[in-house]
């Protein structure tokens, strides 16, 4: 299977549309959303192209292909609008024997790893993309498609056959790392 991993949409419809075009063009099988879907949060500026209702419509059309976790800006009112589960703090994805721990990053991250053995921890939250092989657990931060930080451009990732690849919104691969 080919997974598209995205975090920190923060209500910005144009960037989500760009990511969904990539999803379709690259024939991805599952959309993994790592939180902060509709709300932009009190510490961020209002994003250009904010349209939470438009995002709800687009995502609900694809609900069967989506798994998601709760971000620090997601709440019960968001779950009332979305037709896929959103309020879990994490989920474990097992693909070809590899265990991926998917979370938003505000609870579990590279400094606060979850208990247990996982091949990778995948999250967003900090808006700083990262693909770092470590002993035991690879660290994968998708960055943000709406509010990248640290001088980074907007990013998302794919995972297929043990390989994580980080992309910018132009669809250009920035880095690939294999779980090995």
What residue spans define the domains of the chain? Answer: 2-178
If you average pLDDT over residues 62-82, what whole number do you get? 97
pTM of the model: 0.96
Q: What is the pLDDT of residue 83?
A: 98
What was the pLDDT predicted at 180? 76
Architecture of domain 2-178: 4-Layer Sandwich (3.60)
Percent of the chain with pLDDT over 70: 100
Q: What is the pLDDT of residues 139-178, one digit of tens each?
A: 999 999 999 999 999 999 999 999 999 999 999 999 999 9
Write out pLDDT tens, residues 105-140.
999 999 999 999 999 999 999 999 999 988 889 999
The b/e string for 33-55 (b: 16+ C-beta within 10 A; e otherwise) is bbbbbbbbeeebeebeebbbebb
Gap between the Cα atoms of 60 and 137, Å rounded:
32
Look at residues 40, 31, 39 and name the one whose alpha carbon lies nearest to residue 68: 31
| Amino acid 160: pLDDT | 98
> Which residues lie below 8 Å from residue 77, measured CB to CB, with a gap of 6+?
none
Residues shown for the chain: 180
- pLDDT at site 131: 97
Q: What is the pLDDT of residue 134?
A: 81
Banded model confidence at residue 34, pLDDT cuts 50, 70, 90: very high
């Amino acid at each position: 299977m080919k997974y598209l991993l995205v975090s920190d949409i923060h209500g910005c419809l144009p960037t989500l549309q760009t990511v969904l075009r990539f999803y379709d063009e690259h024939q991805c099988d599952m959309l993994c959303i790592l939180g902060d879907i509709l709300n932009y949060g009190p510490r961020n500026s209002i994003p250009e192209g904010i349209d939470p209702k438009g995002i709800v419509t687009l995502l609900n059309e694809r609900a069967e292909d989506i798994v998601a976790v709760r971000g620090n800006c997601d709440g019960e009112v968001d779950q009332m609008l979305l037709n896929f589960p959103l309020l879990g703090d994490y989920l474990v994805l097992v693909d070809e024997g590899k265990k991926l721990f998917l979370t938003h990053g505000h609870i579990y991250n590279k400094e606060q790893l979850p208990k247990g053995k996982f091949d990778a921890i995948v999250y967003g939250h900090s808006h700083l993309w990262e693909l770092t092989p470590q002993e035991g657990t690879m660290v994968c931060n998708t960055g943000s498609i709406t509010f990248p930080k640290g001088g980074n451009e907007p990013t998302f990732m794919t995972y297929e056959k043990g390989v994580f690849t980080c992309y910018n919104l132009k669809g250009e691969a920035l880095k690939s790392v294999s779980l090995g």
